[in-house]
A and B are shown apart, each in its own frame.
Chain A
Amino acid sequence: ELKVEQNPLFLSMQEGKNYTIYCNYSTTSDRLYWYRQDPGKSLESLFVLLSNGAVKQEGRLMASLDTKARLSTLHITAAVHDLSATYFCASVGAGGTSYGKLTFGQGTILTVHP
């Protein structure tokens, strides 16, 4: 059974600092997603990572995928308050009966302080 684990679960950052959120998954995965969720809101898709070595960047966020290590990272550069949210990674596994179902990590609650 596919398991997805994130760390840290809580992250308190100062504005302007850099940090990385890690996402480990237990079985082969064909793609990896990163989502952002604001309190009480829906999931906003940030990145879709399709292959080993994939790197995507949007603003202050950069995501990467290492399928051999079964690891994805979400790097935050020069954090600003607007980035405060909960970040989830999710995997679809690979083939079999996974179909499209997403398995989510626990989420990382990011708080950016002045």
Chain B
Amino acid sequence: DSGVTQTPKHLITATGQRVTLRCSPRSGDLSVYWYQQSLDQGLQFLIQYYNGEERAKGNILERFSAQQFPDLHSELNLSSLELGDSALYFCASSVGAGLYNEQFFGPGTRLTVL
């Protein structure tokens, strides 16, 4: 157990809908990362927040958005869902924001879009 929690574990929804994935980092970690794992794209970085501020952006679609709240938990919002958004979404956390901070991964949220 990494200490990173994600809810829900599974989410099944329909195309066109909107969902919110939640992540609580390890105690003391200020940085949160979101990754998407799909069969066709593999594991790819979406976005990073550090202490409430966006730090880095990867291949995140405009339909997706994220934020980190004052209590440091983070939410990833996915809207106008398409079949291709079905994937495993991981959150990771680290103490700092830079290159030298090891990331610890949560259990993931499996999203299925029907």
| Proximity string of chain B (70-83) to chain A, C-beta cutoff 8 Å, 1 when within and 0 when not | 00000000000000
User: A95 to B99, Cβ gap below 8 A?
Assistant: yes
State which size class the interface on A falls in. 20 to 34
Q: Point out the residues of chain A lying under 8 angstroms from B103, CB to CB.
A: 100, 102
Known: A42-B106, A104-B42. A99 touches B90 (CB 8 A): no
User: B43 to A107, Cβ gap below 8 A?
Assistant: yes
A98 within 8 A of B: yes
State which size class the interface on B falls in. 20 to 34
A54 within 8 A of B: no
Known: A101-B58, A104-B43. A30 touches B100 (CB 8 A): yes
A45 within 8 A of B: yes
Question: Secondary structure at chain B's binding surface: helix, strand, loop or mixed?
Answer: strand
A sample of 20 cross-chain residue pairs with beta-carbon separation below 8 angstroms, ordered by A number, consists of: A40-B88, A41-B108, A42-B90, A42-B108, A43-B90, A43-B105, A45-B105, A97-B56, A99-B48, A99-B99, A100-B48, A100-B96, A100-B97, A100-B103, A101-B45, A101-B48, A102-B33, A102-B35, A103-B45, A104-B42
Q: Could you list which residues of chain A lie within 8 angstroms of chain B, going by C-beta atoms?
A: 30-31, 33, 40-43, 45, 48, 88, 90, 92-95, 97-104, 106-107
Q: Which 10 A-B pairs have the closest CB atoms?
A: A104-B43, A101-B45, A99-B56, A43-B105, A92-B99, A42-B107, A42-B105, A30-B99, A101-B56, A99-B55
Q: Could you list which residues of chain B lie within 8 angstroms of chain A, going by C-beta atoms?
A: 2, 31, 33, 35, 42-45, 48, 55-56, 58, 88, 90, 94, 96-108, 110
